[in-house]
Amino acid sequence: MNAESQSLWMEQPLPPLATTGGRPDAAQVCVIGAGIAGVSIALRLAEAGRQVLLIDRDGLGAGETARTSAHLASALDDRYYRLEHWHGKDGAALAAQSHAAAVDLIEEWSRRYAIDCDFERIPGYLLPAPGADVQELEREYEAALRAGLDVTRLEAGLAALPAWGPVLRFAGQARFHPLKYLLGLYTAALAAGVRFMRAEAGDVEDGEQPRVLLADGGLIQAESVVVASNVPFHRRVALHTKQAAYRSYMLAGLIPAGRMPDALIWDTADPYRYLRLQPAGDGKDWLLIGGCDHKTGQAPARDPLEELREWAGEYCKELENIQYAWSGQIIEPVDGLAFIGRDPGARNVYVVSGDSGNGLTHATLAAPLITALIVDGEHPWAALYDPARKRLTGDWLEENANVALQYRDWLAAGDSNDVAALPPGQGAVIRHGLHRFALYRNEDGSLSALSARCPHLGCAVRWNALERSWDCPCHGSRFAAADGHVLNGPARSGLEPLAGERIDGVSSAA
């Protein structure tokens, strides 16, 4: 699995990837990644008559698809007045159209392939945060209207919720169960002739006939390759200076059915918070509470989960014991929209990255966009989502300055020098001379010792207690606690093991 915490969605069992007809070594299109982006693209390509092979290191839905909030929205959380600033009025309108088309496609495929995934059209409500400037709401209202959204300003707020001032209502949004939907897509893709294989891609080589080099030494020859692995792993820099990794948090607890409106609800706080319902049966609904994002590897002073519990309590006093708590990785581009299209500088390699908190609609709109680029060479959305676009924004300068600051960790003290006091199931970064070691106490009491150097671009990793992982504060790579294998890219290899080293007199596990 991706990490230690469990989401509400993970109760849905998923089958292993079905490898049929022996181990394939060629395809017209090789798709890397078995999340909602990869499987959607594979299905759309198969519908267009292409022979597709999809590979994944961990299996179906093992990445961020299982860690989403499952909001389906054309009312994007980066604000349309900001999208206008970055992409112009036409670009903002095209963003609204493309995300609405993604929700339509999910609804269409749910009907066509009889996918029972709790899909439901619901409204979305944007609420001002306590003490927020209501002028921001007005700016967003006007920009959303210009972009073509069906938006209404409710001056009296929303009666079902304690709102501070007016709210915006967006029609035509939706919700669903992401893993039930992914399972339905997988079944449809198999029936359409898509081949699947459990395999780890180590690198991708572009060319007239691009190749996927597998970690076990094998290779796959293709006419086109699509890297749909959340973040590109085959380039060391490329897109990574134009986007940043954030952790986003979620809770799920039961409430009486009908207690809260069946809607997507979010506020204007920074970082923002959001709510939505998921049917639970037996007169209950799941209340999903999310937000409180922070840069990966850069945890805030206050526990985000505790902050979400407190915020949710203001809206629903009947919230029962919270049964699920988890986090997920959001890749935030500097200009609010994902990078979907031809890999910069490549001929036949395509990428999908930069979900920007709207991962399910970005992933879905990638299906018609990537398919059209491969089949026809063009699409009306291509320029808007072009991975080669360059935009020097204030966010770009801020994010890259933040990355540079993280290298100071190499000069700082470690988390602790008392290795013997490290409890089972916990980790700490230890400074030892000029080195920094990532130590994890296994449940049997033994120690695992790893280099704290992220193999991507050399930042020092930090301990993530919720997910029991080592997280890089520079570009968001994440690694398993005990053996350091990669959980999230862009790193292609894991943390270097230090078997046999002695740290302050304590031997590490081999």
Q: Give the pLDDT confidence of 466-501 residue by residue, as tens digits.
A: 888 898 988 888 898 888 888 887 887 889 888 655
pLDDT at 100: 98
What are the C-alpha distances in Å from 90 to residues 85, 229, 395, 402? 11, 29, 22, 32
Which class is 8-68+179-241+336-393 in CATH? alpha beta
Better pLDDT: 21 or 154: 154
C-alpha dihedral, 10 to 11 to 15 to 16, nearest 10°:
40
| Choice among 35-49, 235-249, 416-430 with the minimum mean pLDDT | 235-249
144: closest CA among 207, 180, 96?
Answer: 96
Give the three-class secondary structure for 362.
helix
Give the least confident one: 59-68, 292-301, 403-412: 403-412
The average confidence (pLDDT) of the chain is 87
Query: Half-sphere exposure (CA, 13 Å, Cβ side) for 64?
Result: 29
How far apart are alpha carbons 93 and 87 in whole angstroms?
9
Structural contact between residues 265 and 161, judged by C-beta atoms closer than 8 angstroms: yes
Architecture of domain 117-175+246-329: 2-Layer Sandwich (3.30)
What is the full DSSP assignment across 277-330? EEEEETTEEEEEEEEEEEETT---SS-HHHHHHHHHHHH-TT---EEEEEEEEE
Please report the pLDDT score of residue 398 as a whole number: 61
Average pLDDT of 40-54?
A: 98
Percent of the chain with pLDDT over 90: 53
CB 449 within 8 A of CB 439: yes
For residue range 384-398, what is the model confidence (pLDDT) as tens digits? Answer: 999 999 865 545 456
Instruction: Answer whether 349's CB lies under 8 Å from 342's CB.
Output: yes
Distances (CA, A) of 378 to 239, 372, 374, 375, 381: 21, 6, 8, 8, 9
What's the whole-number mean pLDDT along residues 172-185?
A: 98
Cβ atoms 71, 177 nearer than 8 A = no
Mean pLDDT of 87-96: 97
> In the CATH scheme, what is the code of domain 409-507?
2.102.10.10
| Cβ pair 195, 189 in contact under 8 A | no
pTM of the model: 0.88
Residue 374: strand, helix, or coil? helix
> What are the domain boundaries of the chain?
8-68+179-241+336-393, 117-175+246-329, 409-507
Sequential DSSP letters for 247-279: EEEEEEEEEETTSS-SSEEEES-SS-EEEEEEE
pLDDT digits (tens, 9 = 90+) for 106-121: 999 999 999 999 999 9
